[in-house]
Amino acid sequence: MSIFNECNIPEDLYYDIENQVWGRKNADGTFTFGMTDPAQSLAGKILYADVKPAGRIIKKGKSAATIESGKYVGPFPMPFAGEVVEVNKELENDSHIINLDPYGKGWIVKLKPLPESISDVNSLPTGEEAVKAYIKKLEEEDIICKKR
């Protein structure tokens, strides 16, 4: 895991850097998505996450959830089209886990890519390339993560 400006940026994830969304490819071909460490830090304490139900088709760039904090209410956009196959039920009881463990227990949704979105899936940066691009964004926007 790379750390820059106190922000954790794991190399083993895929990133939608512009929207500050991470994705982890699962063995069954689905992707688990969550907010990045910088995103949760900027949002402040997450109060509520309203996640779309399993079975819902989400178009590329459209929201799979609405995230609410003391400083932010907004969409959680998906980097490719897919079907919601699972939502993090833990968020119903405590959405603050997004802040506490954004890359683990704080995941938000699992998505099965639609066949026509495979090129979008393959275009997501990962590894060293993603970390360098993310660090550039953090530098340009002067983002420093605060732990909650």
Alpha carbons 33 and 51: distance in angstroms, whole number:
12
- Report the chain (148 residues): mean pLDDT per 10 consecutive residues: 87 94 96 96 94 97 95 94 97 94 97 91 91 92 81
* pLDDT on residue 147: 66
Sign of CA pseudo-dihedral 36, 62, 78, 83: positive
Say if CB 15 and CB 2 are below 8 A apart: no
* pLDDT on residue 5: 87
Q: Is 2-140 a CATH 1.10.3080.10 domain?
A: no
